[in-house]
Structure 1
Amino acid sequence: MPKTKFQEIIFTIIMVIVMVYALVVYNISLDKGGLTNEVFYIALGELVIMGIVGFILEMLIAGPLSKKLAFRLVTPGKDKPIFVILAVSAMTVCLMCPMMSFVATVLFKGVDSQLVSKWIQTSVMNFPMALCWQIFFAGPFVRWVFGHLFPEKDLELAAEAE
């Protein structure tokens, strides 16, 4: 896990790319009635704007708040690390899913008298996918990539330097 602000930014960038791309692919396939090769290409175009929005929301709102909420349930250093990871991951999805679904609703479904209904439906459709994707794939994958970019020995040295 990240030990410095720089590492936190790198971790967040990787996580946002993996989460946002998957959810954009998911939403486009829902709109098109199924997953096709074309969907992966279309999703790359949407990844830019949604990735930037996701990064900003995660760094400014969801990241700090999800940790506060998770640490009401678990205590780092006292509870098993997997429980801390799962609590933070779940809280992050609980916060990011409605926020990102709102942005996607406004950008891709338009603002009209049905905005709230569309947003709720988008959030409800996205939440199970986002939670499962985070817990079972994105979280482990990004922690694995991050662990190879910043081996534990390097993390300990970086923490001591700050």
Structure 2
Amino acid sequence: MPKTLLEKIVFTVVMAAIMVYGMIVYNVALATGGVTNATFGMALHEMPIMVPVAFVLEFFVVEKLATALAFTFIHPTDRPQFITYAISLMIVCIMCPVMSLVATVLFKESSFGTWVHTFGCNFPMALCWQMFYCGLLSRFIFRAIFRRGEQNAR
């Protein structure tokens, strides 16, 4: 996984873009009553705003906090994939309410009730999207971009 600053930046951009796009598609579908072909295009309109917000939050604040929280219930000696899952879980637990708040303020009626409703609707989807699709796809793309000569080690 990412080891250098450039790798961390690229990984975070890829993860943020995929995660944000999936969540915007979901929220557009909720707002319009279902998924149509147009839903995927409509979701692109919020990307220039939400991806940079997600990147900045994740890169500068959330990853460190999520890692610290994950290591309160997992140990450095645990299997690497369980460490990855624990950190991913904590990232969703932090990012989902924050990004729901940002989306509520920017795109909806700004009220506490609207934010709670948005967060409540988004959390199950964000968790599933991250754990089953986005995280796997982001790591696959990262490994495709940054091949480290693993074949040479064999």
The answer for unaligned runs of 5 or more in structure 2 is none
Q: What is the TM-score when the length of structure 2 is the normalising length? A: 0.94
Aligned to 1:125: 121
* Greater shift in the superposed pair: 22-31 or 39-48: 39-48
Measure the CA separation in 2 of the matches of 1:153 and 1:101. 40
Q: What RMSD over aligned residues (CA atoms) do the two structures have, in Å?
A: 1.1
Aligned to 1:6: 6
Measure the CA separation in 1 of the matches of 2:4 and 2:109. 39
Aligned to 1:72: 72
Measure the CA separation in 2 of the matches of 1:152 and 1:75. 26
Shift of 1:119: 0.4
Measure the CA separation in 2 of the matches of 1:87 and 1:152. 25
Aligned to 1:41: 41
Shift of 1:73: 1.7
Instruction: Tell me the alpha carbon deviations over residues 105-142 of structure 1, each in whole angstroms, 9 at most, x when there is no partner.
Output: 0111133xxx1111011001000000001000011111
Shift of 1:153: 3.4
Aligned to 1:144: 140
Measure the CA separation in 2 of the matches of 1:127 and 1:152. 35
Q: What is the TM-score when the length of structure 1 is the normalising length? A: 0.89
Aligned to 1:86: 85
Letter of the 2:9 counterpart? I
Shift of 1:59: 1.1
* Greater shift in the superposed pair: 95-104 or 33-42: 33-42
Measure the CA separation in 2 of the matches of 1:46 and 1:39. 12
Aligned to 1:19: 19
Measure the CA separation in 2 of the matches of 1:66 and 1:105. 23
Shift of 1:45: 1.1
* Greater shift in the superposed pair: 140-149 or 11-20: 140-149
